[in-house]
Amino acid sequence: MPSHHWITDYPVVFLGLLLLPVAVVAWSWRIFPTGRVIWPLAATAAMSFLVALEIGFLPVLIVLDSAILALLIFDLSSMIGRSQIIVERQVQRVASVGVHHPVTLHIENHSKRTLRLEVRDDCPNEFSMTPQSHSFLLHPGQRAEAMHKLRATKRGSFQLDFVDLRRVSRLGFWCRYIRKPVQSTIHVYPDMQQMSKYSLLARTNRLSLMGVRRTRKVGQDNNFERLRDYMLDDNYRHIDWRSTARRQKLTVKQFQTDQRQRVIFLLDCGRMMTNQYQKLSLLDYALNSVLMLSYVALKQGDSVGLLSFSDEIHEFVPLRSGPSQMNRLLHAGFNRFPKVSQSRFDQAFLYLSTRCRRRSLVVLVTNFVDELSASQVASYMSNLGGQHLPLVALLRDHRLFDAADHPHAEDEVLYRSAAAAQILTWRHDVLRRLSRAGVLTVDAFPEDLTSPLINRYLEVKAKHLL
């Protein structure tokens, strides 16, 4: 039997044995073939077919395989060596949910070769990235920038650990994957655009567009605060004509309220706040409303605090006033998520009684569908009436209201509608019990909670209930 007979019978095995050392070297350096390597392999396969038909083509096959092997090894040699690529990431630490967050990657080639690179940044599952990758041709010593945007769908603290590089060889037969460790931390906070919207509408006296009603105040706050330039929406009766004549510019008096209040929020983070609507949990909606009302109260000069709890006390932000308090509230709640555990109202109110002794507006934001939780809330909030002014903000469940509002002739749907209606009737009775006990109430769907909560706060402030 000729020594070359197995070559003609198994040409693919022969080529595989030749490429085995190359494959070992490539795997150790994380180098893999690209789609372009199909063409020389297709030429080898075609020649092997001719050898199977006519043995005279064997020398041509050997020469062709040797040439292809030499070509692949030559192209592979351009990839082997120490990677001299420097990658840095420039990103702001603070981002907002649903808002595009810019990220800049700086890539520098410290090698003596021209590199063709494809760059892809780390992207957690809670983010979307645009664009997905960047392509560069970097000459020796050249520096390039890659800019993309991250969009978070969930608040919290996230870590960006690495940057992936895909380097292509000179002839394009090989590509090498390089992972550069680049550590960055992004804190994703709730979207605060509603605060800017509130400020703009407040300056132009158009808060009704946000659902905030104008509350008639008992008496009038006439404490002079400062003089400022006249604006188009200012009351002409507040113009200070002496200052206007002296400055040769319309000047108005600005007044401040003589009432300073204390508002502390009890934020339930238990299992009843895990329900979702439009991909957001009830706790997300509650936190947005709490932050919005905190912003309004701080603008009024009031002191604001926060206590978040479930089966344990999570965060406590003491009562303070001033712009810096808003940052404390944001940092305390941005990384807080609902727990699948029963909330300990007794523990939360005991903690509150030891930390807040001065009369305050206590706002409990929660949800319940069982008698045990409802009786605990009613009992503890009613007992606060002697020292504090209690307010319960109760979140509605869309699925419960939809089931009660859309009955059907089918037995299963009809029974479900009847059960939902019974729960809503019981829920209404609980709210009436709270009102008779002197507890203020707000009952709203999660996406509509902000406006009625602010209206109730403004009503308390206008009627001097504290």
Sign of torsion over alpha carbons 18, 19, 23, 29: positive
CB-based burial, 321-356: b 16+ in 10 Å, e otherwise:
beeebbebbbebbbebbbbeeebbbeebbebbeeeb
The tokens of 17 are what? 């044995």
Q: Which amino acid is at 100?
A: H
Measured CA to CA in angstroms, residue 96 lies from 177, 335, 451 at distances of: 32, 12, 21
If the chain, 466 residues long, is cut into consecutive pieces of 10 residues, what is the mean pLDDT of each piece? 51 62 68 77 72 68 76 74 81 84 90 84 88 87 90 87 86 83 88 59 49 49 72 79 89 70 93 86 88 86 93 92 88 87 92 90 91 89 87 90 75 80 90 91 89 86 80
Distance between CA 281 and CA 393 in Å, rounded? Answer: 16
Evaluated on CA atoms 314, 302, 194, 130, the torsion sign reads: negative
Q: Calculate the alpha carbon distances from 50 to 1, 6, 37, 38, 54 in Å.
A: 20, 15, 21, 18, 6
Segments in 117-259 forming alpha helices (H): 193-203, 241-247
How far apart CA 175 and CA 317 sit, in angstroms, is 53
